[in-house]
Structure 1
């Protein structure tokens, strides 16, 4: 494939200007000082209510909030004026982008099309730390998306102020020809010392209806063109074999108008500057990992389509994933993404191709059409070509979203998979219907019915936990708001969910009932409690297709406590009792996380979670199983230092170890019972360790220099009587990988 760098660029210089009706030109400087006269022409928002806890009361004394929004040639400018009286603690740690820690911050979420299908979130902390993300499917927030926008903060004894500039180029939009645009907006403010959230409008992402509850406003809109390209260079030195690998490539972004944008990448390398958490997974269900690669997070919201059973029709981690010939991760030759609108229809196209004889090709197309302000219809199609397996997988889905009023929502989906492999064809279908009802500010209900056919399979480019499923779920949520200011509790939220399931062959799977309680204390602490019970039923996945196991009834219990800040410290604790074996014997887990903020520029977090399991069931191939006692430990350490506004230094380390002992062999019988074979299973342990020391220097907007040292490994040994300290000592010496990475990416 021909490769090369685009040798020309278009320089873009914005003058941030506006005036009456958006026509007169006058400068606003993004310096965190809301003092320009032009702000008098802005739309103002001051009716903030407390939504976390969901009390819907006025903000506490000394914490009043005002927000402003103004449309300009350069983009939408947003400002906040925030009262924070001397008696109200200020929490302002320096944080990495998108790091979620308790802090004083503000947030604006904008639905540029005003249709409730997707919106873009922008947050700024009192320290200047920023976060951005995309909200889809009403309540699903993805913080992997990063874009180019600017902000500034100033602080006084009486409070603080924030200004943001959100360029018109951050998202594709419909209807570019009209001089006015209807957008949906949501503003919020978080108080770090007690976790209280103020918002306007007074809606919550926890209540099922979020995007469709935004306040609709009219603003002037402007046409803005943009062209950027990012050459990159990486050098990866492998310390194990003393070899250095160099890679180079380019990313391109072109937006000639509000309703069309193109992203492309040639010979991409996503480096190893972000690492996944360590896991040990013996279950039949694959562990889900999100995608942090910039090309696959930028303007990806149109392709976000969830299914029943926590599935996703498009899971971009498949692109560049493990190769079909077993040689490791695949290299990506190139990828192209188109987003835009034509008339009233939104569209998206994604194409990617991998290198090598086992390289795969991926194609995705998506359409969304609002038939009315309350009704939208969509289609998604994907095709995956896997030549090494002589396999093509075609997935088609149609979805509908109807919100006839502020209380009722209807979401429906029909999908099918059409797979050809080595001359054999396998087709099947699925469907989903979700009904939501929010009759009052206290109560909300949801009913979901879903069907997956026996052969439905969208895993070639999606994420599917299982096929062959018929499911009916019903849930109810009640929020109690406590108006007594002498009470320890500010509010409580109770949620009951019931679930009945069967596979598509008619085998009844265990039914489940779950009761959740969220207790919000006036001091800022949060206590989460959960109790669940499941009936006996068939487990049709544990043997990987080698027979059904009749699982007995069981119960689960969990409690989690999240503290407020106590000076420089915060903590959380977790206790859970979960059955993992053949009977209802409960495994015990107790975890503690400590967070330390000795200064605004440095923070640290330590977590240790041990687990003791008296009975653990492990599939051993075919109809064979092992029954063990298990001891597991998880530990992590995170250190973050911000010596300057452009500098970040991070240490991230994780360790997970598991010991299995007293193993006994069992075999699954045709009756569904597990019977002892009399075979003794050898004790074994699994040990994993990972460490990354990363320095990041910001070269400019969306331009960075990374230096990272990474080391880690895993071991699995048949042995007995090894303790936690010895496993940790061995983990520190694991060295399956040991490398130094330099990556530079610069925007022109």
Structure 2
């Protein structure tokens, strides 16, 4: 009996040891036995230049494995060692001179949100999110693993993407449908290869991903980040103690609850210094992990002009009304003002299913000296039926110091009737101090083939529209209709110096909401890319005269100035890319700018 138990124990230990040894280790070598049974992808298309031709002269092999924890990707990139470029770069710098591998994953297979992961041959990494087909944001920094290794004539990259990296919709059955697009960038010859016949620079991107099937794992996890800080001011003889925590709880694959209590964002990357003399507020993206990670459900925008939620408002500059105080207290109030508000708590809940997505975001600021913190609330709903996605996003802000409440309601839609046509739009209403404002945007994109692209946008914001208590609006009292038409040429002869040529015609018609004409413009450009990686661009523009009220800040004494007509030309040349040197020349001539 003892011998039998001993034999069973030895067998169990042997099995456990084999299982541990059989696990894939992210070291960039791809030498584990599991890779021999992995799914393989070897079909690629050239997407830069945008020929969409099958790639036969550059060999790339992608391996895919899965487990209950996540997805493993292996890349085998065959090329001569002399042609490899491995410049180290900051996170998310996809334009660096380095060879790269990447994958963009649509975990829900619904073309609503994509998550991009890439690694360079220098081991540098990057990640981003995609919304609205091709709208990319680098604010998202996820937790995932990668490694690379180099051998003679090939370099390898290896990635591990956990299932908990992003919120996912619940899918019925034992299998989960996932759409993915893989790509490889070669920095030397400046080529990009992909497993799809599409590019993020085209109007339709997420919708052309290839579909893959994985086991439908039920995942959950919780991360808890407490902190305690002690600050001593020896001049004033004051000690400030601060404690708080952040909790990220993925209840299951479709539900997630995040909470922050008295959070500290001292480790967050600071903003770039921007000197802005214009009347337009500079938009800063949010780098705080609580507000940047898995926030895609709440990202409702009208291109770069309008953001229904700008989370930088939460914890922003406090409200003060020092006029309520007299003499010494008034001076003390003015001298005690701070530039940012602490946050008492923030909570975000999201739940995604095959029929309906729901989200809630709430936050409350702490009280400062002579100021009471603001309260922020938001509700999000989204559903999809066939080719139409429609959603609602509402926000409410209470600012007690200035006795102001602000409510915003918006409805957004995205209609994709075919693989070449997309129509999207946004309707928005604001109610601030019992004053209603309205606005909308409507966009259309049409890509009939790989050589032509057409798109336009129509934007209208009346003079009372105000979303800036919790969002961002570049300006109100504005009407604009603009568009562009592009033609690409990539079918050059093999002995030609050219690799790609792009013609672009753009235009914009502008006025205020009362139809008083503002300067409108038309521009034309020719962009040439050469096989030696150099570029030459020529552009010209013409702008009409019209009223400009932003320079005078719409002052009653001088509500606008009359801008003269303007025109000009510009030429720009960038020399071939090199490991050590790259040069450029620029010349332009303008009038009336």
In the TM superposition, 1:446-485 aligns within 5 A as 446-485=455-494
**1:550 aligns with one of 562, 572, 582:** 562
The answer for the alignment partner of 1:150 in structure 2 is 145
By how many angstroms is 1:465 displaced? Answer: 1.1
Structure 1 residues 447 and 272 mapped into 2: Cα distance closer, same or farther (>3 Å)? same
2-structure distance, mates of 1:344, 1:239: 59
2-structure distance, mates of 1:56, 1:44: 21
**1:567 aligns with one of 579, 586, 591:** 579
The answer for the alignment partner of 1:375 in structure 2 is 388
2-structure distance, mates of 1:239, 1:572: 53
**1:34 aligns with one of 26, 30, 39:** 30
2-structure distance, mates of 1:528, 1:225: 51
**1:275 aligns with one of 263, 270, 282:** 270
Q: Is it true that 1:327 corresponds to 2:338 in the alignment?
A: yes
1:529-579 superposed Cα distances (whole Å, 9 cap, x missing partner): 443221111113222222122211112544554455423334556555566
Q: Is the 8 A contact 1:299 1:339 kept in 2?
A: no
Q: Is the 8 A contact 2:88 2:98 kept in 1?
A: no
The answer for the alignment partner of 2:53 in structure 1 is 57
1:653-697 superposed Cα distances (whole Å, 9 cap, x missing partner): xxxxxxxxxxxxxxxxxxxxxxxxxxxxxxxxxxxxxxxxxxxxx
Structure 1 residues 228 and 402 mapped into 2: Cα distance closer, same or farther (>3 Å)? same
2-structure distance, mates of 1:119, 1:553: 43
By how many angstroms is 1:411 displaced? Answer: 0.7
Q: Is the 8 A contact 1:196 1:524 kept in 2?
A: no
**1:200 aligns with one of 186, 189, 195:** 195
Q: Is it true that 1:511 corresponds to 2:520 in the alignment?
A: yes
1-structure distance, mates of 2:566, 2:233: 49
By how many angstroms is 1:502 displaced? Answer: 1.8
2-structure distance, mates of 1:418, 1:330: 24
1-structure distance, mates of 2:590, 2:71: 49
| TM-score, normalised relative to structure 2 | 0.87
Q: Is it true that 1:218 corresponds to 2:227 in the alignment?
A: no
Which range is displaced more, 231-240 or 190-199?
231-240
1-structure distance, mates of 2:64, 2:484: 37
Q: Is the 8 A contact 2:463 2:478 kept in 1?
A: yes
**Runs ≥4 residues deviating over 3 A:** 35-43, 57-61, 232-248, 526-530, 556-565, 569-579
**1:403 aligns with one of 416, 425, 442:** 416
**1:363 aligns with one of 356, 377, 399:** 377
The answer for the alignment partner of 1:68 in structure 2 is 63
Decide which structure has greater helix share. Answer: 2
The answer for the alignment partner of 2:84 in structure 1 is 90
The answer for the alignment partner of 2:290 in structure 1 is 295
In the TM superposition, 1:653-672 aligns within 5 A as none
The answer for the alignment partner of 1:590 in structure 2 is none
Q: Is the 8 A contact 1:174 1:344 kept in 2?
A: no
By how many angstroms is 1:402 displaced? Answer: 1.1
The answer for the alignment partner of 2:39 in structure 1 is 43
1:506-542 superposed Cα distances (whole Å, 9 cap, x missing partner): 2111111122433222122334444322111111322
2-structure distance, mates of 1:517, 1:458: 38
Q: Is the 8 A contact 2:268 2:287 kept in 1?
A: no
The answer for the alignment partner of 1:105 in structure 2 is 100
Unmatched 5+ residue regions in structure 1? Answer: 1-14, 20-24, 587-748
**2:350 aligns with one of 322, 339, 343:** 339
Q: Is the 8 A contact 1:234 1:271 kept in 2?
A: no
2-structure distance, mates of 1:102, 1:239: 48
Structure 1 residues 504 and 222 mapped into 2: Cα distance closer, same or farther (>3 Å)? same
The answer for the alignment partner of 1:162 in structure 2 is 157
**1:121 aligns with one of 110, 116, 123:** 116
2-structure distance, mates of 1:530, 1:353: 49
Q: Is the 8 A contact 1:478 1:495 kept in 2?
A: yes
Structure 1 residues 113 and 528 mapped into 2: Cα distance closer, same or farther (>3 Å)? farther
Q: Is the 8 A contact 1:413 1:432 kept in 2?
A: yes
1:218-244 superposed Cα distances (whole Å, 9 cap, x missing partner): 222201111111123557789999988
